[in-house]
Structure formats: C-alpha cells, structure tokens
Amino acid sequence: MNSRIFFLIPLVGFLVLAIYFAVGLTKDPSKLDNDILLNQPMGEFKLVPVKGRTEGLSAADVKGKVSLVNFFGSWCVACLQEHPFLLKLKRENIIDVYGVDWDEKNPNDVVRWLARHGDPYTKIGVDDTGETIIDWGITGAPETFVVDKKGVIRYKFIGPISPRAWNDTLLPLITELRKQ
C-alpha cells in the first residue's frame, strides 16, 4: 500500500514543472534584468548632433533636473506611436525629454523624420558608434529612462509610454524625485 506513494512522484514532478513553466513562460527573457542599471549613475557620453544641427547631447545636459532620456530611431515604428505623447510633454512643458537617436541607415532619415512628425526633444544626440546605447543596456526602441537631478537612473521603461504607465508610474516617480 505504502509503495503506491511512489507512483505519485511523476504527478508531483509534473505539477512542479507546470507551475515553473506557468511562471517562467510569462516572463520575457530580454526584460528579466530590467532593473540592472537602476539607481546607478548614468555613464559619461558626448553624442554628435543630428545632421544639419550644431548641438549634440552630453551627460552634463541631462543632469541638474529630473529629466527623461528617450532612445529612438526613425526606423522604429513603436516610437511613432509614442511620438504624440512626447510632443504633448514638450507643448505643456511638463518635463525635458532628451533624445538619443541610434541605428540610422542614413543620417538624413532622422532629419526627415523630425521634420515630418515634429521634434519633442530638448536636445538630441546621435549615437553613431553604438557605445552609448550599449552603456545604457538598450535592446530596442523606444526605451525611456527617468534620470534624477544628480544624474542617477531611477527608472527604465521599455516600449512606447502609454498614458496609463505615465499616470500610474512615471509621473508619480517624477513628482517624488523633484521634491528631493
């Protein structure tokens, strides 16, 4: 009678695996280490300007106030989805958004893109080497970071910012950081 318990082992094993997969498969492995740069000071960078402009972007520009650093590209469809929201942030003067443009096939692409859709950024730098995007652990676009006054990364948001994410997460955090 007692030995029947052994026949339950495969069932128990199966249940353990099932729970493990049920949890594990809902996670996107590329987002697992989302918080790796959290609360770390951003690295130094000095990016070249968009073609035809004179001012690029450096770490010093971002520091001194709470700001957003948005990694984008003219090739990025989801960035376009987020674009009207960034324009609104600029229009209503809610927060400074700094743009890092990367992975352009042609330097003119981003010039055209900004002309066509509008420029929501306080300043834009172009990462033509990939050094800065790797330093920020970027895997795609758009990715947006909240950086505090001292230049410490406080939040990493992957994908287009939704109004809900803004109201529930980003805005409360920004308000909090501004008090510090």
Partner 1 sequence: MRFLLILWAALFVWTVQVSAVEPDEIMDDPALEARAREVSKDLRCVVCQNQSIDDSNSGIAKKMRVLVRDRIAHGDSNQEVKDYLVSRYGDFVLLKPPMKAKTMVLWFGPALMIVIGLVGIIFYYRRRSAQAAAGTAGVSPLSAKEQARLDALLKEEGSDK
Q: Which is nearer to partner 1, 17 or 94 (CB)?
A: 17
Classify residue 83 by its DSSP letter: H
Residue 151: CB atoms within 10 Å? 17
Q: Which is nearer to partner 1, 9 or 115 (CB)?
A: 9
Segment interacting with partner 1 (CB under 8 A) among 60-68, 110-118, 135-143, 170-178: 135-143
Residue 14: CB atoms within 10 Å? 10
Examine residue 12 and tell whether it contacts partner 1 (CB under 8 A): no
Q: Which of 137, 152, 158, 165 is the binder for partner 1 (CB under 8 A)? A: 137
Helices (H), 25-142: 59-62, 77-91, 107-117, 131-135
Q: How far is the CB of 103 from partner 1 (least distance, A)?
A: 5
Report CA-CA distances (Å) from 165 to 20, 39, 51, 62, 89: 28, 20, 33, 22, 14
User: With contact defined as beta carbons under 8 Å apart, do 97 and 122 qualify?
Assistant: yes
Q: Which of 19, 30, 91, 112 is the binder for partner 1 (CB under 8 A)? A: 30
Q: Which of 3, 54, 93, 180 is the binder for partner 1 (CB under 8 A)? A: 3
Report CA-CA distances (Å) from 63 to 14, 95, 146, 150: 52, 13, 11, 6
Q: Which of residues 99-128 bind partner 1 (CB under 8 A)?
A: 103
Segment interacting with partner 1 (CB under 8 A) among 82-90, 137-145, 147-155, 164-172: 137-145
Examine residue 42 and tell whether it contacts partner 1 (CB under 8 A): no
Report CA-CA distances (Å) from 22 to 9, 16, 26, 28: 20, 10, 7, 13
Examine residue 39 and tell whether it contacts partner 1 (CB under 8 A): no
The site for partner 1 (CB under 8 A) is made up of: 3, 6, 9, 29-30, 32-33, 36-37, 103, 129-131, 133-140
